[in-house]
């Protein structure tokens, strides 16, 4: 039955195989490797599953999939590729949780390493430890771990990481290869700013421990390095005492200038909010969505009439953490921080919930969409960093002109500020030059036949920003040519290239990013 299944799958996707060419690794050689039992080759469930990702926009079939039982299997695989033992060096891509949207964790004709297999084999544990000399706690976590598991494991010690993503079912290695951003970034920096040390298998097959002090070049290269320099097998993460509850507030604006001024004011308060984000509400992007169902049914109808009145509403979202000790004072503190905010009078919505419920707020929406088949649809997302000096023009040219006027958008649109000083310029990630810049996320979902319409709109947005000189940078970047990548990295391109030849000279790692091919 299995063979019959594979045969059917093979004939279904064989036209695809012919489009992308024959696998460059001869299968018969793979069978002789001493990691052969952990490889899945040919057209199988494994190669098909790893040929796609959350984006559902591209499909690239690997020649084989490795399910490592330990990091030594990964080292062996990378060494085989380096030594040309099988054929020419073949691509190797770590697949964290496959939540990229443009094939970044794919390895066309090469090998995909399913990182979660380390977890299944009980290799990568999450350990909370005490640094006795300097007097702080940290967590040692496998690169394959999901942030939700890191949260639960650290909470057992009353601790938690300080910097998060909005959604926690992402792998540590996957987000550290990008940056890992959310409403906490203005305060604690992105997740890459909260790493003390890593174990990395370089593209040369060497296992190296690195930090700011030791092998620092590799450390800075890997953080935000789009998987180009090494596979993260362990990361030492900053943790702090975890709060138990949060005060969660949303307020509305019809004026973008007032909205952004207030966001910037909130992120400038010392010891102020713990999280500040913002989003757009329009007919196409209603108050509640998969990212968060915050508003009660009765409030939703009021909000919808407000949206009809203004066409677009900007929603500022802020959170203050607290625990039993400050339960009596937190409301006063919140009031003080919110004094002078210029939101639409009477449009304030509050929630009081647990820290875990707040951090894991996207999960219920995901499960809802999964249950009706709407999670596994194409996601032509566009994520941008917009300098503060360009954000007003961005609102007029992109939010009002392209998005609102064209009325094609389907999905949440996020916009919130963060500060450059919390980012380390020695890391590979690219951000705007200004002290304050905005994170903008256009989180579209679409049908299988119409995602190109939204992708066209994304291109229009990028072209508009270029023409208007808005100096934006893509987050989770995706480009089609080397020139475009060079332009993205700007003055960092030279060092990015140097680091590639130092740590992955045969250009083996993360070929799905398409930077060096
Ligand atoms: P994958 O897609 O598996 O891999 C991404 C890249 O990293 C690939 O190039 C891969 O080869 C490489 N890689 C994977 N593991 C390793 C490793 N151990 N070592 C080295 N390289 C590795 N991002 C944010 O910053 N903030 C958010 O709030 C946020 N929310 C999201 C919500 C959803 C629903 C989704 C789908 C994505 C979101 N993202 C967010 C984007 C997400 O951070 C990136 O797509 C990230 O790469 C996904 O992690 P992953 O584990 O699925 O990585």
**How does strand 245-253 pair with strand 207-211?**
unpaired
The half-sphere exposure of 117 on its side-chain side, counting CA atoms within 13 A, is 20
pLDDT band at 517 (very low <50, low <70, confident <90, very high): confident
User: Contact at 8 Å (CB) between 189 and 422?
Assistant: yes
- Rounded to the nearest angstrom, the distance between the alpha carbon of 53 and the centre of ligand 1 is 10
SS3 of 251, please?
Answer: strand
Higher pLDDT, 46 or 393: 393
User: Contact at 8 Å (CB) between 182 and 267?
Assistant: no
Tokens of 398: 């992109």
- From the alpha carbon of 379, which atom of ligand 1 is closest? 36
Q: What is the mean pLDDT of the chain?
A: 91
**How does strand 136-142 pair with strand 127-131?**
antiparallel
- List Cα–Cα distances, 310 to 93, 254, 280, 383, in angstroms: 47, 7, 12, 25
- From the alpha carbon of 143, which atom of ligand 1 is closest? 18
Atom 7 in ligand 1: residue holding the nearest Cα: 174
Give the catalytic positions in this structure.
99, 166, 277
Atom 23 in ligand 1: residue holding the nearest Cα: 180
Higher pLDDT, 18 or 66: 66
Burial of 435 (0-12, 13-18, 19+ CB in 10 A): exposed
- Please determine, for residue 16, whether its predicted confidence score (pLDDT) is greater than 80: no
Higher pLDDT, 285 or 161: 161
3-state SS, one letter per residue, for 20-49 = HCCCCCCHHHHCCCCCHHHEEECCCHHHHH
- Please determine, for residue 210, whether its predicted confidence score (pLDDT) is greater than 90: yes
Sign, Cα dihedral of 12, 13, 19, 23? negative
- From the alpha carbon of 172, which atom of ligand 1 is closest? 51
Phi/psi for 122 (5° steps) reads 60, 30
pLDDT in tens, 474-504: 999 999 999 999 999 999 999 999 999 999 9
Q: What is the ipTM of this complex?
A: 0.99
- From the alpha carbon of 230, which atom of ligand 1 is closest? 20
- Rounded to the nearest angstrom, the distance between the alpha carbon of 172 and the centre of ligand 1 is 8
User: CB neighbours of 69 closer than 8 A, spacing ≥ 6?
Assistant: 38, 117, 118, 121, 123
Atom 43 in ligand 1: residue holding the nearest Cα: 175
Rounded Cα distance, 389 and 247, in Å: 31
* pTM (predicted TM-score): 0.94
Percentage of the chain beyond pLDDT 90 is: 81
DSSP codes, 414-466: EEEEEEGGGS-TTSS----SSSEEEEEEE-----TTTHHHHHHHHHHHHHHHH
Rounded Cα distance, 49 and 364, in Å: 24
- Please determine, for residue 5, whether its predicted confidence score (pLDDT) is greater than 60: no
Buried-state track 18-44, b at ≥16 Cβ within 10 A, e below 16: eeeeebebeeeebeebebeebbbbebb
pLDDT in tens, 178-202: 999 999 999 999 999 999 999 999 9
The pocket around ligand 1, CB under 6 angstroms, is made up of 53-54, 93-100, 104-105, 115, 143, 165-167, 170-171, 173-175, 177-182, 226-227, 231-232, 476, 510, 512-513
The mean-pLDDT minimum among 283-292, 295-304, 362-371, 403-412 falls in 283-292
User: Contact at 8 Å (CB) between 411 and 445?
Assistant: yes
Query: What dihedral angle (degrees, nearest 10) is formed by the CA atoms of 40, 22, 19, 111?
Result: 40
């Amino acid at each position: 039955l299995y063979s019959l299944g594979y045969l059917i799958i093979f004939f279904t996707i064989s036209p695809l195989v012919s489009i992308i060419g024959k696998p460059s690794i001869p299968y018969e050689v793979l069978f002789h490797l001493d990691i052969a039992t952990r490889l899945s080759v040919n057209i199988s469930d494994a190669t098909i599953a790893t040929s796609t990702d959350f984006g559902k926009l591209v499909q690239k079939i690997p020649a084989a999939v490795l399910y490592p039982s330990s990091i030594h299997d990964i080292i062996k695989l990378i060494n085989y590729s380096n030594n040309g033992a099988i054929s020419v060096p073949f691509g190797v891509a770590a697949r964290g949780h496959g939540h990229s949207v443009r094939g970044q964790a794919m390895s066309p004709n090469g090998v995909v390493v399913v990182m979660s297999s380390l977890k299944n084999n009980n290799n990568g544990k999450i350990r909370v430890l005490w640094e006795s000399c300097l007097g702080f706690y940290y967590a040692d976590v496998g690169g394959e771990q999901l942030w939700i598991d890191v949260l639960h494991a650290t909470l057992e010690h009353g601790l938690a990481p300080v910097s998060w993503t909005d959604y926690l079912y992402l792998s540590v290695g996957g987000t550290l290869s990008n940056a890992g951003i959310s409403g906490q970034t203005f305060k604690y920096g992105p997740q890459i700013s909260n790493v003390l040390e890593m174990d990395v298998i370089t593209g040369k097959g060497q296992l190296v421990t690195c930090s700011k002090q030791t092998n620092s070049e590799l450390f800075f290269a890997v953080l935000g390095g789009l998987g180009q320099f090494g596979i993260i097998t362990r990361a030492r993460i900053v943790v702090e005492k975890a709060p138990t509850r949060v005060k969660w507030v949303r307020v509305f604006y019809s004026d973008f200038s007032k909205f952004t001024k207030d966001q910037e004011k909130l992120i400038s308060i010392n010891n102020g909010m713990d999280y500040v984000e913002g989003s757009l509400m329009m007919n196409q992007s209603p108050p509640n969505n998969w990212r968060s169902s915050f508003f009660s049914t009765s409030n939703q109808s009021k909000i919808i009439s407000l949206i009809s009145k203004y066409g677009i509403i900007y929603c500022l979202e802020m959170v203050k953490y607290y625990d039993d000790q400050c339960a009596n004072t937190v409301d006063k503190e919140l009031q003080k921080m919110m004094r002078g905010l210029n939101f639409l009078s009477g449009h304030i919505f509050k929630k009081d919930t647990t820290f875990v419920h707040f951090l894991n707020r996207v999960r219920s929406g995901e499960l809802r969409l999964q249950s009706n088949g709407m999670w596994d649809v194409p996601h032509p997302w566009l994520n941008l960093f917009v300098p503060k000096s360009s954000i007003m023009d961005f609102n007029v040219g992109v939010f009002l002109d392209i998005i609102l006027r064209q009325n094609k958008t389907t999905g949440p649109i996020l916009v919130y500020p963060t500060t450059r000083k919390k980012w380390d310029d020695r890391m590979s990630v690219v951000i705007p030059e200004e002290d304050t810049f905005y994170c903008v996320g256009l989180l579209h979902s679409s049908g299988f036949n119409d995602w190109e319409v939204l992708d066209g709109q994304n291109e229009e947005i990028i072209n508009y920003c270029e023409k208007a000189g808005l100096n934006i940078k893509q987050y989770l970047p995706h480009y089609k040519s080397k020139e475009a990548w060079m332009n993205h990295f700007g003055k960092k391109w030279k060092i990015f290239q140097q680091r590639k030849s130092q740590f992955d000279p045969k250009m083996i790692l993360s070929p799905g990013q398409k930077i060096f091919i």
